[in-house]
Amino acid sequence: MQIPLQQFENYIDEAILKRGLSYFRKGAVNEVEEISPGQFEAIVSGSEDYTIHLQISGGIITEHWCDCPYDLGPVCKHVVAVLFHMQQEEMELSQPRKKKPSAGKHSKKKTVEEQVRELLGKLSHDDLKQFILEQCIGNPSFRQIFISGFAYLVSEESKEMYKKQIQSFITSVEGRRGYIDWTGAGVIGKAVESLLFTAEKHFDQAHYQSTIYIACAVMEEMTPLLNYVDDSNGAIGGTIDQAFELLNQVAQAEIPDKLRLELLGYCITTFGKNIYEDWDWHLGMLDLASRIVKTESEGNKVIALIDKPMESYTKERAQLIKFEILLRMKGTKEAEDFINQNLANSRFRTIAIESAIKDKNYEKAIGIARDGVRADAKDKPGLVYTWYDWLLKIATIQKDTDRIIEYARILFVESNHHGQEYYKLLKAKVAPGRWKEFVEAIIADFKRESRGSNFEQISGIYINEKWWDRLFDLLKTKPSLHNIEAFDKYLAAGYSNELVEMYSTGIVYLLKISANRGHYQEACRYLRRMIKLGGKDKCDNLILKIRAEYPKRSALWDELSRV
């Protein structure tokens, strides 16, 4: 989400704004540093210290990131606190624990990049080497970043070298019996993210071998970790996804053929050994391999793995990979034959229908769709309506009114998807003189005992047809507060008194079974609906009775005072 810095408060949830402002006013934001032009970093102190990164271009926040576990919205309170800090002068905010710069002393601070460049320009080569050596000896984090960043310059670089680094991260936080809690998972995740950042730099600099080593090491070490770690914040799974994405980026780059064959071999080997079994990356390796094969022989090696027995869901996805290989290696004819031999794969059936329609071979398309209805009726009933939808599309192309009505009726009555669209289509196609009889037959279908009441569908028909008496009678069969509120805009003109009574009964029952502020607020919303329907006296009397019934519910009294 891109946010204008000077109007950020208009783009963020009010509750998060208040929390962020509170953090700012407590002085929780440490000095915001400009790392490089447009790149900012800050530390916000809360239950822990959290690092925030911002990218700002032309007054627009184009990227924002915080390492806190918050995932309930696009922006967390820590990011908001930093934004308040950056805009405090423009917004005339005060921060008690921080002194503002004295008048006349304010000057633009150098970015971190500028400060570092200035120091590098003044340091001698020997001093710099000595500093790096000392940091590598005494600072494990610096050592890891330095060695992984330049390991490609030495012959000892290997996947195993990076795996040992990751193993050391894991060992440092393992608890009793090897289990790693949520906090430990975050520590490991941060360390591995740093390693992956190095891998991304290698990729940008075309050091593809190093990128592959790091990405494969991360995947191999982090995937087994998922079995004994609390990864509720996604710290571990996220790094595996990042590593796999790096391999995909390498596959799309212009890499030497020797390296391509090495990556292809890795994909085939890991799939064959089930290294990532039960995870999406398992089949992902075949997908990756399919995109870097260049010869029919290489393609056949991947196809041989696909042709082995698999679970049905995995098999369908694998067949799509095989189709792409056949299309590239052997041409359209063999790929189409493969599709026609495997129409049980819903994606292939869809491709076959689309192809037949494109060729205007409508009878073939109809046959494939009808076969899908028969084939999937027992085990995949949800797909049946996909095939009926295709039959409807074909009937529409052919302007076959009888078939349009037949299929739209099936979809409206049975599928529970896009009901209004099918209803409008039916009303447009059924002769006006037959419409009422047609609709009554549909209602009868809905009311059959074997199909249940289908309250929502029947009420939708009554609303479309403006049959308010029948809608009210239907409401009386399920007079929940939700249903009353949904229908009162249609029924208010003719049934306001009855609706007030229904609301009253429902509110009494709601308060009888509920005792939290959320339900109190809900009850008060319905009390306001009663007033809008002309039931103010009834509402006032009901409030008196509620107060008498629940004299000790202070939160309820508080909400009632706002009605």
Residue-wise pLDDT for 35-48, tens only, equals 888 889 999 987 78
Q: Is the pTM of this model over 0.85?
A: no
Q: Is the pLDDT of residue 451 over 70?
A: no
Judge whether residue 106 has pLDDT over 70. Answer: no
Q: What pLDDT shows up at residue 399?
A: 96
pLDDT at 125: 82
User: How close are the terminal C-alpha atoms of the chain, in Å?
Assistant: 37
Distance of CA 331 to the CA centre of its chain: 36
The mean pLDDT of 328-357, rounded to a whole number, is 94
Q: Which residue, chain included where needed, has tokens 């080569």?
A: 125
Contact 396, 429 (CB under 8 A): no
pLDDT for the residue 323: 95
Band of residue 101 on the pLDDT scale cut at 50, 70, 90? very low
- Of residues 170 and 140, more confidently modeled: 170
CA dist 533 and 478 (Å) reads 20
Q: What is the pLDDT, as a whole number, of residue 96? A: 53
On average, the pLDDT of the chain sits at 88
Cross-sheet strand order for the sheet of 60-66: 3-4, 60-66, 49-57, 39-45, 33-36
Q: Please, which pLDDT band fits residue 453 given cuts at 50, 70 and 90? A: low
What pLDDT does residue 406 have? 97
pLDDT of residue 420: 86
From residue 442, alpha-carbon distances to 123, 205, 396, 451 in Å are: 85, 66, 21, 12
* Ramachandran sector of residue 157 (left: φ over 0; alpha: ψ -120 to 50; beta: rest): beta
Is residue 490 over pLDDT 90? yes
Q: How confident is the model at residue 122 (pLDDT cuts 50, 70, 90)?
A: confident
- 3 forms beta bridges with 61
Confidence (pLDDT) at 449: 58
pLDDT of residue 232: 85
- On the 0-12 / 13-18 / 19+ scale of CB atoms within 10 A, 39 is middle
Pairing mode of beta strands 60-66, 3-4 = antiparallel
Task: For residue range 494-514, list pLDDT tens digits in order.
Answer: 999 999 999 999 999 999 988
- Mean pLDDT (whole number) for 291-300: 94
Residues in contact with 537: Cβ distance below 8 Å, sequence separation at least 6, in sequence order? none
Q: Residue 79: pLDDT above 90?
A: yes
Determine the average pLDDT of the residues in 366-375.
96
Q: Where is 4: in which H helix or E strand? A: strand 3-4
Confidence of residue 352 (pLDDT cuts 50, 70, 90): very high
Mean pLDDT score, 269-278: 92
- The radius of gyration of the chain from alpha carbons, rounded to an integer in Å, stands at 33
Distance CA 479, CA 505 (A): 9
- Per-residue model confidence as pLDDT tens digits over 405-433: 999 999 999 887 778 899 999 999 999 99
With a CB cutoff of 8 Å and minimum separation 6, the contacts of 329 are 293, 295, 296, 299
Pairing of strands 39-45, 33-36: antiparallel
Q: 148 pLDDT band (50/70/90 cuts)?
A: low
Q: Identify which of 242, 252, 233, 181 has the alpha carbon closest to the alpha carbon of residue 215.
A: 242
Residue 67's contacts (CB-CB under 8 Å, 6 or more residues apart) are 50, 51, 186, 190
Q: What is the mean pLDDT of residues 238-266?
A: 95
Predicted confidence (pLDDT) per residue in 537-561, tens digit: 999 999 999 999 999 899 899 999 9
d(C-alpha 340, C-alpha 368), whole Å: 10
pLDDT at residue 563 greater than cutoff 80 = yes
